[in-house]
Amino acid sequence: MSSPETPMENPGPHAPTWLTQPTYSNLGEVRAHLLPSKACQPRTSGSSCTDLKPLPPPLPKKTLARAQSLPTHRGPSPSPTPVGQPWRLLLGSCSVDESQVCDEARPAFPPAEPPFCSLDTDLGLSFQDLHCPEAVQALLEARQLEGLLTVHTRLQARFLGGHPGPCRPHHGFRLLDRLPCVESEDALYYRMVRVDEEVWHVLAAKVPKPRAKEHHPWGLELQASLPPHFNLQGLCGLVPEGALPQAPWRGPVALAVEVPERTVAQWLEEAGAQRPEDFARAVALLLLQLGRALEHLEALGAALAELRPENLLLAAPRGCAASRPPRLLLADFGRVHPRPPGTLGAHALQLGRLLRELLRRVPLATPLATGLHRLAAQLARARPSATLTRDALQALLWGPGPELRGRGTALGPWLQVRRALLVLHLAQRAAGGETPGLEDWLCCEYLIEATEASMVHALALLWN
C-alpha cells in the first residue's frame, strides 16, 4: 500500500495536501492519513511557519467485516472545503459504514451451512438436495429426457421442414426429366419444379398407370387431407391441365411432396451384396417406419388392403449426408379403406408376409435376424396391433433383450441407463462434427415414448 507523497511545489493558503499517484486504499486503515494539515498562517507579522495549530487526533480505526477496494484513478481537483471541516478524499474505494456492513457481512443462514445453499437455477437443486441421492437421480433423469426431447424435436424439424404448401394459381411448373425417376406398380413419378416467385420446390408428378387397379376414392380423399407425416406420402395439389404442354401425360396429375428414388422391391435387388447383419438391420428399420405409417392409419380408422414392396417408396431423408437408412413412404392410398371396428391387428397378417419376403436371403446368423423371424411367426399367430408391432421392432433394434423378459425385471432402470448412454453417444459424435441421422431420430423417439409396460408387452410378444 503506497503512502501519500508531498507535492513538489509549496501549497497555497488553505490548500490540502494532494495525492499524486493513488492506487488502492482501505478506508479503515488510511483514514487518519487522509486528513490534510492546515497551511501556515501568520499570527503576527513576524511569526514563522513552525508555529502551527495542533492537529486533531486521528480517528479510531474501524474494523470492517468486509472491505471492497477498487482501482483508483486520478480525478479533478475538489472544490474548496469550508473551514473547520476535515477533508475526506475517496480514492476509488467504496465507503461503507457499519450499518451497511452489517447486512452484507452477516450470513443469511446459520453458520453451519455455506452461503450457496439457495436454489441453483442452472442445476435446479438446492444445497440440501445435493445430499439426497434420490433428488439428484430424479433431476438427472429429467434432464436426460429433456435433452432427448430437444434432439428429437430438432431432427424432426429438419426431416419434415421445407414443406412446399398447397399450389396457387400463380405458380409455374417446369418438367426436369421426360423419363420417370421411379416406376411403382400403380404409378409413374416424374421430377419437376414448382416456381413461386423466387422460391423453387422440387416435387414429383404422380401419374397413375393406365391399367392400374381401381382406386378407392375414400383413401385418396384421406391422403389429400392428411397433415405432414414422415412415413406417409404427402400431396400439395395438382398440376393443372395444359400447364406443361410437353409433359408425357394427359390431364391433371397429383403433386407429391417427396421425390422417390426407388421402391422397396428395387431396393431388395440392390441390397443383396450387403452383409447379413447390415441387411437385417436395414430390414428392421424399414419395417419400423412402415409400422409407424400403419399405426397412424389405424388411429384414423383406416386400413391398407394390400402391402406390396412394389408400392412402398424410398426417398433420401432431408438434411442427411448419408442415405442409409432411407426414408420409407406409404403411397398406395388408392387401396386404403375404412377399417372395420374392433380389428386392431388389421395389418398383422400382411406385415408377417412382407417380413418373410424381405428375410428370404437373411440367414439366422445374428440375434437380430433370429428376432425378426420370430416376429414374423408371431404376427401370423397373435395378430398384434401396429403399435405393438412397432414396440417389438424397437426392442429388437435397441433393446431390451430376451434376458430381461419376465416379471420382476428392472426395466425402469434399464430405460434410464439407455437414455443416459444415448445422450452421451450423441454428444461424443457431435464433438467430432458428426450430424445425427434418421436412425438416431428413431432411437430418440423410442426411448422418449417407451415405458415399462410397453417394453413388457413387446418382450412377451417376441419371446413368450
Averaged confidence pLDDT in the chain: 79
When mean pLDDT is compared across 210-214, 329-333, 393-397, 414-418, the lowest value belongs to 210-214
One-letter amino acid at 127 equals F
In this prediction, what percent of the chain has a pLDDT beyond 90? 49
Task: Name the phi and psi angles at 101, rounded to 5.
Answer: -70, -35
Other CB atoms within a 10 A radius of the CB of residue 239 amount to 25
The Cα–Cα gap between 53 and 59 comes to: 18
Q: 198: which residues sit within 8 A by CB, 6+ positions away?
A: none
pLDDT at position 91 = 35
Residue 138: pLDDT band with limits 50, 70, 90: confident
Neighbours of 302 (CB within 10 A): 19
Lowest mean pLDDT among 96-100, 360-364, 365-369: 96-100
pLDDT at 414: 94
Whether 423 contacts 148, CB under 8 Å: yes
Q: 246-278, pLDDT tens digit by residue?
A: 899 988 899 999 999 999 999 998 887 788 889
Please count the helices (runs of H) and the strands (runs of E) in the chain: 13, 11
Give residue 442's pLDDT: 97
Scanning the structure block, which residue is given the C-alpha cell 438391420?
Answer: 281
Q: What are the tens digits of pLDDT across the range 39-54?
A: 444 444 444 444 445 5
Closest C-alpha to 335, from 183, 208, 163: 208
Question: Does residue 10 carry a pLDDT above 60?
Answer: no
| H/E element, 218 | helix 217-225
pLDDT digits (tens, 9 = 90+) for 79-137: 444 444 444 333 333 444 444 444 444 444 444 444 444 445 666 667 677 778 888 88
pLDDT at residue 233 in the model: 96
The pLDDT of residue 13 is: 47
Output the CA–CA distances (angstroms, integers) from residue 7 to 4, 14, 20, in the order listed: 10, 15, 7
SS3 category, 238: strand
Q: SS3 for 202?
A: strand
Distances (CA, A) of 130 to 115, 125, 126, 134, 139: 14, 7, 7, 9, 11
Average pLDDT estimate for 140-163: 91
pLDDT of residue 362: 74
**Top-confidence range, 141-145, 292-296, 359-363:** 292-296
pLDDT recorded at residue 70? 42
Question: Taking 80 as the threshold, does the pLDDT of residue 72 lie above it?
Answer: no
Q: Which residues pair with 414 in a beta bridge?
A: none
Cα 283 to Cα 164, 228, 269, 324, 362, distances in angstroms? 30, 24, 13, 11, 10
Do the beta carbons of residue 358 and residue 284 sit within 8 Å? no
| pLDDT in the model for residue 291 | 96
Q: Residue 299 — φ and ψ, nearest 5°?
A: -65, -25
pLDDT tops 70 at residue 349: yes
Return d(Cα 459, Cα 316) in angstroms, integer.
Answer: 32
Residue 368 has pLDDT above 60, yes or no: yes
CA distance 201 to 180: 18
180-197 pLDDT, tens digit per residue, is: 999 999 999 999 999 987
Whether the per-residue pLDDT at 61 is higher than 50: the answer is yes
